[in-house]
């Protein structure tokens, strides 16, 4: 059987089956945004790793190495944010073609450290790669014991919230790839920046954990439907989304209009926004709204968790055809579709 027949997630399940059971002190193993390890009575270490491959995640000639450095760190920090933890140290490994200019790595490092906002680079590995540039980043975070935000902690009746943009990154990518066009340079810069320099929602994750308002979160790396699908699958639930309650930026609306596209396709399926989806018990909603106001944060209630397995998207109260979760799978989908 070929890998592409079972896809990225089928392969991860197969690996998971051989991984050995996670035993104490590994509190969370494979299957969440990050793994969680008890490190003493008061703290847990939260570890995530992500890889970027030239030709799959980026084209060397099309991306500024500063942005690439920024993004490769930011996407890992986003997984730490999705657990409600604080990043403490990072590791960076490179596979590099020898003919690459060292100045490219200098620029990469500037962006990498900028995204870390003070998180120290504490190690890594450097090897040669004849087939292009490989980047592997690991971030270790710290959280107070027993309180990390998990994918499997949603309950039926909880409302679903979204903090941060969705669709902007995919719209930015469509501009970079020339699939859409705009006469508005400010919109172009805004959307391309969302794609190249995503903002991990660290503060939101920390506030949710510290206030106890949410126990369940995921970051949107593969698309709103697909990542909400991971919460559903891991929590044994379905979800109902109200399409019109999903906030869209003005630039994505304008770009969609200019190009005769539906912006919600980007919002539901587009990956790499690194927003947070989290769930909240109904009796915590007032407290959440107060905290959001006090902290000057915006989050939108976009639906609720329900019994079942499916995600239903309602447009004006009527279920719409979404054609599956349609997010990004490394072995099955065209990354740009």
Site for ligand ADP contains 30 (CB under 6 A): yes
Q: Residue 110's binding partner, choosing from ligand ADP, Mg ion, none, with beta-carbon cut-off 5 to 8 A by kind?
A: none
Using CB under 5 A, pick the residue from 32, 54, 67, 79 that binds Mg ion: 79
With tokens 């719209």, the residue in question is 171
Q: Taking CB within 5 to 8 Å according to partner kind, which of Mg ion, ligand ADP, none is near residue 3? A: none
Answer for which of 32, 168, 199, 273 binds ligand ADP (CB under 6 A) is 32
Q: Which does 281 bind (CB under 5 to 8 A by kind): ligand ADP, Mg ion, none?
A: none
Residue linked to tokens 């490179």: 94
Residue 15 interacts, among Mg ion, ligand ADP, none and using kind-specific CB cut-offs from 5 to 8 Å, with ligand ADP
Site for ligand ADP in 129-188 (CB under 6 A): none
What is the x/- site pattern for ligand ADP, positions 66-105, by CB under 6 A?
-------------x--------------------------
Scanning residues 211 to 240, which ones bind Mg ion (CB under 5 A)?
219, 221
For position 12 contacting ligand ADP by CB under 6 A, the verdict is yes
Q: How far apart are CA 310 and CA 308, in angstroms?
A: 6
Judged by CB under 6 A, the stretch of 25-33, 120-128, 159-167, 186-194 that binds ligand ADP is 25-33
CA distances from 53 to 44, 133, 136, 280, 308 (A): 30, 6, 9, 36, 37
Work out what residue 152 binds among Mg ion, ligand ADP, none; the CB cut-off runs from 5 to 8 Å by kind: none
CA 144 to CA 292: how far, in whole Å?
22
Least Å distance between CB 31 and ligand ADP?
5
Q: Is the Cα dihedral 247, 8, 231, 326 positive or negative?
A: positive
Of 72, 221, 249, 322, which one interacts with ligand ADP (CB under 6 A)?
221
CB-based burial, 135-161: b 16+ in 10 Å, e otherwise: bbbbbbbbbeeebbbbbbbbeeebbbb
Return the number of the residue (152 or 285) whose C-beta is nearest ligand ADP: 152
Rounded to the nearest 10 degrees, the angle between the axes of helix 65-82 and helix 185-196 is: 60
Pick 119 or 175: Cβ nearer Mg ion: 119
Answer for which of 32, 33, 54, 325 binds Mg ion (CB under 5 A) is 33
Provide the token pair at 122. 């504490």
Closer to ligand ADP at the Cβ: 50 or 152?
Answer: 50
Q: Are 240 and 303 in contact (CB under 8 A)?
A: yes
| Separation in Å, CA 236 to CA 147, 176, 231, 239, 279 | 20, 38, 8, 10, 14
- E-strand stretches of the chain: 26-28, 35-38, 43-53, 86-96, 121-128, 134-144, 159-163, 216-219, 238-242, 276-280, 300-306, 311-315, 318-320
**Angle at alpha carbon of residue 246, lines to 244 and 221, rounded to 5°:** 145
Give yes or no for residue 33 binding ligand ADP (CB under 6 A): yes
Q: List contacts with ligand ADP (CB under 6 A).
A: 12, 15, 30-33, 50, 79, 221
Q: List contacts with Mg ion (CB under 5 A).
A: 33, 79, 219, 221
């Amino acid at each position: 059987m070929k890998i592409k027949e079972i896809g990225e997630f089928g392969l991860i399940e197969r690996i998971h089956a051989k991984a050995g059971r996670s035993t104490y002190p590994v509190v969370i193993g494979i299957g969440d945004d990050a793994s969680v390890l008890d490190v003493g009575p008061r703290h847990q270490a939260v570890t995530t790793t992500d890889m970027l491959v030239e030709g799959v995640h980026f084209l060397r000639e099309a991306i500024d190495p500063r942005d690439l450095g920024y993004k490769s760190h930011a996407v890992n920090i986003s997984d730490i944010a999705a657990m409600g933890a604080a990043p403490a140290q990072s590791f960076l490994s490179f596979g590099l073609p020898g003919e690459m200019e060292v100045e490219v790595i200098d620029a990469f490092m500037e962006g990498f450290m900028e995204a870390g906002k003070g998180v120290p680079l504490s190690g890594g590995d450097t090897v040669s790669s004849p087939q292009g540039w490989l980047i592997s980043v690991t971030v270790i975070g710290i959280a107070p014991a027993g309180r990390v935000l998990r994918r499997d902690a949603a309950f039926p009746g909880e409302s679903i919230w979204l903090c941060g943009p969705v669709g902007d990154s995919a719209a930015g990518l469509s501009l970079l790839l020339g699939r859409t066009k705009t006469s508005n340079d400010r919109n172009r810069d805004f959307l391309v920046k969302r794609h190249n320099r995503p903002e991990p929602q660290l503060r939101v994750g920390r506030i949710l954990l510290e206030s106890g308002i949410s126990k369940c979160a995921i970051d949107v790396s593969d698309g709103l439907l697909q990542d909400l699908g991971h919460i559903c699958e891991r929590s044994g639930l379905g979800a109902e989304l109200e399409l019109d309650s999903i906030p869209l930026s003005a630039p994505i609306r304008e770009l969609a209009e200019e190009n005769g596209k539906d912006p919600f396709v980007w919002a539901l399926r587009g990956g790499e926004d690194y927003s947070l989806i989290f769930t909240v018990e109904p009796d915590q909603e007032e407290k959440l709204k107060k905290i959001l106001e006090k902290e000057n944060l915006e989050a939108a209630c976009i639906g609720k968790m329900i019994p079942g397995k499916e995600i239903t998207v309602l447009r004006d109260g009527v279920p719409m055809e979404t054609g599956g979760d349609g997010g990004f799978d490394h072995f099955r989908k065209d990354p740009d579709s």
